[in-house]
Amino acid sequence: MMNIEQQIAEGDLLVSCITVRGTHKGDWFGIKPTGKLLIYTAVNIDRIVNGVIVEHGGAANILEPLLEIGAIKIVNSDD
């Protein structure tokens, strides 16, 4: 599920701050399904012309969900 937390429009640009929630039910970055609830935030920047998105960009904070499913492991240099 995606929830739009905030949107700001100026000229032909639309910025959307979103939160995405879902259950890890399929392969993601090569990691088999874990059944865990994953949540991440993102910012999308779209350029809209005549009601159509003609450019899209943004960034998503997926570090925490990747840590949660074991796709990324934190290594302690003391270990």
Cα(35)–Cα(38) distance, integer angstroms: 9
pTM of the predicted model as reported, rounded to 2 decimal places: 0.80
Q: Do residues 63 and 72 touch, judged by C-beta distance below 8 A? A: yes
The structural domains of the chain, with segments of one domain joined by +, span 2-68
Any idea which fold 2-68 has? Nuclear Transport Factor 2; Chain: A, (3.10.450)
Residues of the chain with pLDDT under 70: 79
Going from the C-alpha of 48 to that of each of 5, 7, 22, 35, the distances in angstroms are 20, 14, 28, 37
| Per-residue pLDDT at 53 | 97
